[in-house]
Amino acid sequence: MARQPRLILPKQPHHILQRANDPQLIFRADEDYAQFLVWLKEASRFYKVAIHAYALLPTHLHLLATPPDEDSLAAMMQKIGRLYVPWYNARYARAGGLFEGRFRTAVVDTDRHFLMCSRFIELAPVREGQAMEPGRYAWSSYPHHAGLRPDPAITDHALFWALGNTPFQREAAYTELVGQGIAPDELALIANSVQKGQPLGTQAFKIGLEQKSGRRILPAKRGRPAKQVAPVSAD
């Protein structure tokens, strides 16, 4: 059976997950992370994809990004792969693919779930045991949002700008949000959404996506359709 095309909507944020082929590593050394980021920045600018958040981990990576059209996300990821995989293979004297098939993605509800998804991504290094706190992990966008150092790969979303009138206010507000963590049910919701390629949002958001895309997003009602009962004659 042919795989259903990804649901990608222009000018809407998407959570992207790319995993390594088990049991491969995508990144082994700091130079690997740094080189990947160079090509992420170049490819995102070339295809005009706005990167709002990211976390690079040894076996997988997360992105939160807004594409200008339906094709640019795939084009960006393909371009990075065509550059990074041969470079990585030459560096470590290996051959073959590096990534687990095609990347996974989920459309994100801007109003309700964007900042939650951003926090989910930037807290991933802590959950994975790569750092004790997000500010100590070099290969995510959290240091940028917390005001620790600017990141040229990042395009701040309007919702981040809405956190305060000055950079200090925005950074302080975002740091406080991340410090609150994410509830277990929210973690499961986000992880399940991107794994299954299902939109991350409210019921109303998903209904709106069905209308925009012409695709079924909400689960179909179970059971047989109700039988039509003939009207009873008044005679």
Domain span at 151: 14-210
From first to last of its 235 residues, what are the pLDDT tens digits of the chain? 445 678 899 999 999 999 999 778 999 999 999 999 999 999 999 999 999 999 999 999 999 999 999 999 999 999 999 999 999 999 999 999 999 888 999 999 988 899 999 999 999 999 999 999 999 999 999 999 999 999 999 999 999 999 999 999 999 999 999 999 999 999 999 999 999 888 898 887 877 777 677 676 766 565 555 555 555 544 4
> How far from 58 is each of 12, 31, 140, CA to CA, in Å?
28, 12, 12
Contacts of 153 (CB under 8 A, 6+ apart): 37, 40, 41, 44, 51, 54, 141
- What are the residues facing 62 on neighbouring strands? 17, 55
Please list, residue by residue across 141-157, b when 16 or more beta carbons sit within 10 angstroms of its beta carbon and e when fewer do: bbbbbbeeeebebbebb
CATH number of the domain within which 203 lies: 3.30.70.1290
* DSSP code of residue 97: -
> How many structural domains are present in the chain?
1
Residue 229 forms part of a structural domain: no
CB 199 within 8 A of CB 109: yes
pTM (two decimals): 0.88
Residue 163 forms part of a structural domain: yes
